[in-house]
Amino acid sequence: MSDSEKRELIAEIQRQQNVLKALLDQEQSALTELAKRLWAQQESDKARLSRELHDGVGQLLTGLTRRLQTMAHTDPAVSELAEIAELALADVRQLSRLMSPTILDDLGLKPALNWLCRNLFEHEQITYSCEVDVQPDLPKDISILIFRVTQESLVNSIKHAHSSAVTVTVKQHFNMVMLNLIDNGKGFSRENITPGVGLASIEDRAKAFNADLNIHSSPEHGTRISLTIPL
């Protein structure tokens, strides 16, 4: 084979490589779009369930609590029942809000994350700080991504880490948003854990947004989760 034939062959192989790469990129972005649509669907299913919980069981419990509270005036034994009904109502409300935080739509990311922290840490011996500094026009799907990653990570810190302090920070710089979640708990190493759905799910969500997710954790040194999302 002559030199010029070799050069042509190499050029042809490169052309074919480029075509293949373009096809792969197309497939990749189609998959990413599909994943995003799937999560959007999940979020709207959760919103529907959340409303049904609120308007169904929630309203029934509200009626029950009112009636028991009225009866408690004449029969003190009923006041205990009224308190139980009130607790059940508070639980249903909290579940409904965690499932679909309308506060995110109504007031934005900062109040929603503050509300999430207050709710999750209310009965825990954990001190926390939550600093959120983002533009008000942050896209809704990015807000949901940040909210869900924070929710999963904080629940993990409560469930697994036995930490005494947690910090949540969200900052926006030009065309990116950075989320940092730090706990001072017992940490973990990837080789020694039983994989759950939570971490895998936040990794998948991050990937779909081309976001950079880093989970730094080692036994006894706490856990730091950083998410950098391009806008």
Distance in angstroms (rounded) separating the CA atoms of residues 231 and 209: 9
**Strand-pair category, 223-230 with 212-217:** antiparallel
Q: Minimum CB separation from Mg ion for residue 70, in Å? A: 42
Distance in angstroms (rounded) separating the CA atoms of residues 67 and 81: 11
Output 89 or 166, the one with its CB closest to Mg ion: 166
143 binding ligand ATP? (CB under 6 A): no
What is each CA distance from 119 to 66, 90, 122, 151, in whole angstroms?
24, 11, 5, 11
| Token pair belonging to 103 | 């506060």
193 binding ligand ATP? (CB under 6 A): yes
Burial class (CB in 10 A: 0-12, 13-18, 19+), 195: exposed
Q: Minimum CB separation from Mg ion for residue 124, in Å? A: 16
Q: Minimum CB separation from ligand ATP for residue 2, in Å? A: 59
Q: Minimum CB separation from ligand ATP for residue 127, in Å? A: 16
Name which of residues 199 to 228 contact ligand ATP (CB under 6 A): 199-200, 223
Question: Contacts with Mg ion: how many residues (CB under 5 A)?
Answer: 3
198 binding Mg ion? (CB under 5 A): yes
Output 56 or 219, the one with its CB closest to ligand ATP: 219
Among Mg ion, ligand ATP, none, what binds residue 207 when CB lies within 5 to 8 Å by partner kind?
A: none
Distance in angstroms (rounded) separating the CA atoms of residues 147 and 149: 6
Segment contacting Mg ion by CB under 5 A, of 61-69, 150-158, 172-180, 181-189: 150-158
Q: In this structure, what are the phi and psi dihedrals at residue 142, rounded to the nearest 5 degrees?
A: -70, -40
156 binding Mg ion? (CB under 5 A): yes
Nearest to 202 by CA among 168, 163, 167, 152: 152
- List residues binding Mg ion (CB under 5 A): 156, 196, 198
- List residues binding ligand ATP (CB under 6 A): 156-157, 159-161, 183, 185-188, 193-200, 223
